[in-house]
């Protein structure tokens, strides 16, 4: 879902490239300024905040779409903090994916939702994403299971 506008001779593109920090994150691309406004999909003032309205298991894939909109020279303007470059966005995407993977590992190991916070190895300080951890754990039931080939 995307739209383009002419704002006084400047093209601005607005798109919903997926869910992450919330279900309605929007990305604004200003091509002639080589700028992507990413809101809270990316943060530079502090680690990204996972809340009860976040979609942890989709967030890194959504950030992949943001990365696809960037070149080596593009600056991303986060919801909080200073503009960042593409390598910074890659790094944050990796950490978000790591948190999702760790949560899945714990769930598949039989760790109860109430116990995952204390048992995980987390890519960011726990307090930055603890408010959304229970919801993310519940969302695991909605994520398609990994498929494997039969071994025999």
pLDDT of residue 145 exceeding 70 = no
Chain segment 79-112, per-residue pLDDT in tens: 999 999 999 999 999 999 999 999 999 998 889 8
pLDDT at 136: 94
Rounded Cα distance, 97 and 86, in Å: 16
- The structure's pTM equals 0.89
Starting at the edge strand found earlier in the chain, the sheet holding 75-78 runs 2-7, 10-15, 27-30, 35-39, 75-78
């Amino acid at each position: 879902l995307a739209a383009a506008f002419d704002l006084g001779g400047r093209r601005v593109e607005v798109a919903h490239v997926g869910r992450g920090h919330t279900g309605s994150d929007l990305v604004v691309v200003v091509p002639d300024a080589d700028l992507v406004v990413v809101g809270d999909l990316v943060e530079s003032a502090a680690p990204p905040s996972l809340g009860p309205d976040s979609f942890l298991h989709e967030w890194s894939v959504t950030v992949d779409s943001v990365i696809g909109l960037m070149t080596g020279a593009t600056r991303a303007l986060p919801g909080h903090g200073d503009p960042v470059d593409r390598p910074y966005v890659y790094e944050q995407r990796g950490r978000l994916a790591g948190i999702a993977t760790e949560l899945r590992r714990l769930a598949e190991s039989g760790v109860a939702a109430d116990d995952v916070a204390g048992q995980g190895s987390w890519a960011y300080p726990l307090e930055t994403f603890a408010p959304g951890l229970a919801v993310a754990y519940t969302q695991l039931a909605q994520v398609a299971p990994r498929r494997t080939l039969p071994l025999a």
